Structure formats: C-alpha cells, structure tokens
Homo-oligomer: A and B are copies of this chain.
Amino acid sequence: MTGAKKILNVGMIGSGFMGRCHANAFRSYGGLFGSPVTIRLHTLADIDQAQADKNARELGFEHATGDWRAVVEDPEIDIVSITAPNALHEEIALAAIEKGKVVYCEKPLSTTSSSAEKMMLAAEEAGVSTLVGFNFLRNPLIAVCREMIASGELGEIVSFRGRHAENYMCNPDLPHSFRTSTAGGGAVADIGSHIISMARYLLGDITEVSSVNRTVCQSRPLRPDSSERAPVEVDDLGHALVKFSSGVVGSLEANWMATGRTMDLSFEITGTKGALAFSQERMNELHIWEAGKSPGFDGFKKIEAGPDHFPYGHFCPAAGHHLGFNDLKVIEVAQLIDMMLEGEKNFTDFREGYRVQCTVDAIHRSASSGSWEKVSGL
C-alpha cells in the first residue's frame, strides 16, 4: 500500500548521542514532511556485532553489523550516516565516497583540517553529495535571520557578538576523552565550531582572527574511574576577535566550562537599521529590533517560531508550540533529502565543514602566536 514511493536506504555508523539523534530524525522525517520518498533504516554498524544487534533493535534498523565497511560496501545503501568517533570520519567517508554514497557526517568533519580537506576534495572529485551535521543552522528562526540580513532590511551589518557556552566539562574529574585529545579536541573545536558555522552562515567568511585561550582544568583522570591524572593540553575556553570579508568585526567565545550555561549558543548582530538577538537557550524566540511607528516606540520584538517560518509547519500547524533539539535534526534530514532529490548542494557540505575547521585552526594558531592570523582555505 505504500505505493510507488522511492525508497532511500540509510546505513548508519555509530550509535551514541548523535547516532540516536540521526536515527530518530530518519524515523520521524517521512510522517512529518509527507515526503515522496520512504526512508528505510537499513543497517547499523557498531563497534561489534552484539552492540550493533542491540542498538539496531532499539533504533529500528533492519540489519546490524560489527564492521562499518559492510555498510559502505552494501550496494543497497544510498546514504551513509557517520556518527562514529571523529578520528574515524576520514577513513569512513573516503570509503563511502569511493562507493558513490551520499555522505552525511557529524561535525566536526574530521580531527584536523588537512584531513577534512582530503575528504572535501575526494567528495568534490567524485561528485558525491555531502552534508555536515551543523544542526543548529536548521532552526527556522535562523533562516529568518539569514533572509533578513541578505535582504538588507537591517541596513549594513557592522558588528557581531557570538558565543557557544556550555558547562559539560565543569567537573574537573571528568576523564580525558576524544574531547581533550590534541587531535581536534578543546572547546573551540568542539563547540566553538557551532558559533563559527552560525557566523559564517549568516555573515559569510571570517578572514582573520585574534584569540586568547585558557585551560582551566589543568589535569584530568586518564580514564573513567582512574585515579591517575594527565595534563590537559587543549583549551577549555577561548575568546576571539573576528574580521569578516564583508567588513563586519566582532568577537566570539567558546567555553565548555561555562558554569551555569547549558546551551548558550547565542549572538547579537548589529546593522545600521536593525539588529537581531538570538540564544539557543530560547531557541523558539528571535528578537528583532524594529523602528517604531513614532518616537518612543522602537524596540526589540520577540518573534515566536511558527508555521510562517518554514519548515516549522511540518511539525505543528500552530505558532508558539515549540520545536525541540531533536526536531532540528529532522529538518537537517529533510535538507539532506531535498539535496538528493533536487540535486542542489546544501550550505553545510564538506567544503563548509572544512572551512569551519580552518577557522578553528586560525584561532588555535593565534592563541599560540599572539598575533592576528589569517584563515586559510577560503
């Protein structure tokens, strides 16, 4: 009875926080978007067969494997969703690209920008469609921001002030992990990348940066439940000045020991005729400054997300009813499918993922050199 709907088979590698989020998004997409395609959760690859079996059952995949190569090589699979540890992204993606799969990779694209560059070049050479999971950009209200900026209704944009602050590393007894690895770890790489991608999405290339970083927690346990501690060699927080190619100047902060902040991915963008203020802490609200009907009636207006902000209406026909974090991933999947059906590239393709990492690199370089550093790779 499902008729002539085209079926797209998804193979997913990894089943942590983001894997579960991807799986939920794939499951939810069809019913919410009334899509012409049917998404089939085809195969889950996990660290071993037992884990894969268990998680496939939970997440609704039809097949399970302990070998990710089985996913990449399965001719039935259309989309390879990579939610494995960052250090594996390159190898998996290159293999998937070689097989011509659409590659949907969690951020960061890889642990180094040179690795990310390799992935980007391979994808572009192979003509393969790619998408990096910068989910916060999928918020319908962020689309509103982008359109308002592009339309010129805010006048010339002159200043940017952004931040991604969370508190998930505040506990000094959290052990080392990929997050604290010198290959790709640290707050700037981990969550700074979110505010960088947001800034780039809204305002274009960041060309130059000056930064200061700090390692607050000087040592952490080597492993969970280990009493042995090893030094932390990555930043816990960083502040950077940024110059955009458009002439906008500003600052951004990344901080994963931001006591009291759970999701302060926030920005204020100032134009000569208007301004925008947004925080992911209240992700269903956008504050837009508007001139008033007469003096004394200027002010920031609180816009609540609603069906006038595409694609909110696919989730709910009534304004003010709130999208949640997981819904952003559903929208990301919808963009992935649109990309496949309509042959257009998504803003956050591998090239964009690479450029975000080049911006992270420049911030790291500047923190070491004490000088302004140009962002490469643009």
Contacts and interface: CB of A to CB of B under 8 A. Distances in A.
A168 interface: yes
Interface stretch (A219-227, A253-261, A354-362): A253-261
A322 B293 CA distance: 22
B302 A299 contact: yes
Interface residues of A, number: 107
A51 interface: no
Interface string A286-323: 00111010011111111110101100000111111111
Given A30-B58, A57-B5, A17 B300 contact: no
B27 A23 contact: no
A321 B274 CA distance: 21
A10 interface: no
A111 interface: no
A237 interface: yes
Contact of A320 (B213, B239, B251, B281): B281
A210 B24 CA distance: 45
Interface in A60-97: 60, 62-64
A119 B339 CA distance: 49
B241 A259 contact: no
Interface stretch (A101-109, A123-131, A176-184, A265-273): A265-273
A281 B277 CA distance: 15
A370 interface: yes
Contact of A237 (B3, B31, B158, B281): B158
Interface in A161-183: 161, 163, 165-166, 168, 170, 172
A32 interface: yes
Contact of A23 (B31, B144, B166, B249): B31
- The number of times this chain is found in the oligomer is 4
Contacts of A274: 259-260
Contacts of A202: none
Interface stretch (A192-200, A324-332, A341-349): A324-332
Given A251-B239, A303-B298, A60 B30 contact: yes
A56 interface: yes
Interface of A: 1-3, 5, 17, 20-21, 23-24, 27-28, 30-32, 34, 53, 56-60, 62-64, 144, 154-156, 158-159, 161, 163, 165-166, 168, 170, 172, 210-214, 216, 236-237, 239-241, 243, 247, 249-251, 253, 255, 257-263, 270-275, 277, 280-284, 288-290, 292, 295-304, 306, 308-309, 315-327, 370-372
Closest 9 CB pairs of A and B: A262-B320, A324-B324, A296-B308, A260-B289, A263-B320, A321-B325, A260-B275, A301-B301, A299-B301
